[in-house]
Structure 1
């Protein structure tokens, strides 16, 4: 399976959508989490302008004002949706990877910038994920916080919000996968696969 998580910082203009489509076509991913699209509505026509084939389904979380919005798109020949849920600052899709023949929970996160609001998101995700322990799960997105000061240029000490994020990762047992591109996408323990 090939999953792309991308903070696109807006999909309002045609040039940006063409650029996104070009990257998705090149990567030939099975699923994509598009974060911060800044759109209040997402139509099948808009998704078709982004996806590289006619065989897709999608789910989305509407934006609040000029920020937010998560769009999750997947190739229907690779992933079958069982259920989806919109949580504050997160979009959850539960389904089955068809070729690999296993069920999983995928969570796309676009966390707020404020540390107190982030704590609420981590607590909510922890509660949600603890109810899904019978399936493999993957958490990806834009967390708007780093785990260690070494992950951010010019940061020399741990902030309380970094500590809260790190404790959340430890409590739910997430591990950093060796991925292409940027680091810091967190995944449920391998014993759940």
Structure 2
């Protein structure tokens, strides 16, 4: 299972679209979680420029003005979607991973920066968690950290650490080590 999650900070330029396509193609990505697309809509043609072939499906949550936007794309030979839910800050897709004959729920998130907005989102997702029966795989930009050491060189206090860790615990999530580029 090859999943890419990337805050792309806008999909408005041909150069960005080309870069996304290259990473998806070169890494044989089977599902992509893109956040902060800054787009209010996507056509099949536009998403096709991001993907490496014509065998894909997608769901998106539109951006509001010039912020936000979430796009989830998957190889429909690898994943058969059964159920989906799109909200302003996330896309949830549930179905069968074909190669392993296993069922999963995938959730792509772009959390707000402000503490209250994050808390409302965490509460909503915790509530949803119980109504989706398959194991969850979650990715995205949470605009949160789990520990102070994740933000090197900053003396700023991060009051949301406890809330974010509580959210992870309530959803019964395990952190999978990231590979590739560093993150902040």
Sort the TM-score into its range (normalised by shorter chain): over 0.9
Query: Could you report, residue by residue, the CA deviation over 1:41-99 in whole angstroms, capped at 9, with x for unpaired residues?
Result: 10000011110111111111111010111111110110011011112311111111011
Do 1:148 and 1:158's aligned partners in 2 also have CA atoms closer than 8 Å?
no
- Residue matched to 1:25: 25
Cα shift at 1:136: 1.1
Do 2:62 and 2:88's aligned partners in 1 also have CA atoms closer than 8 Å?
no
- Residue matched to 2:143: 144
RMSD between aligned residues? 1.6
Correspondences of 1:158-177 after superposition (within 5 Å) = 159-177=158-176
Cα shift at 1:138: 0.9
Cα shift at 1:157: 7.0
| Distance change >3 Å, CA 13–CA 183, structure 1 → 2 | closer
Runs of 4+ with deviation above 3 angstroms: 155-158
Q: TM-score, normalised by structure 1?
A: 0.90
Q: How many residues align?
A: 183
Answer 1 or 2: which has greater strand percent: 1
- Residue matched to 2:85: 85
Do 1:105 and 1:135's aligned partners in 2 also have CA atoms closer than 8 Å?
yes
- Residue matched to 1:44: 44
Gaps of 5+ in 2: none
Do 2:37 and 2:69's aligned partners in 1 also have CA atoms closer than 8 Å?
yes
Q: TM-score, normalised by structure 2?
A: 0.94
| Distance change >3 Å, CA 150–CA 160, structure 1 → 2 | same
- Residue matched to 2:96: 96
Cα shift at 1:178: 2.6
Do 1:36 and 1:69's aligned partners in 2 also have CA atoms closer than 8 Å?
yes
State the alpha-carbon separation in 1 of the partners of residues 80 and 20 from structure 2. Answer: 23
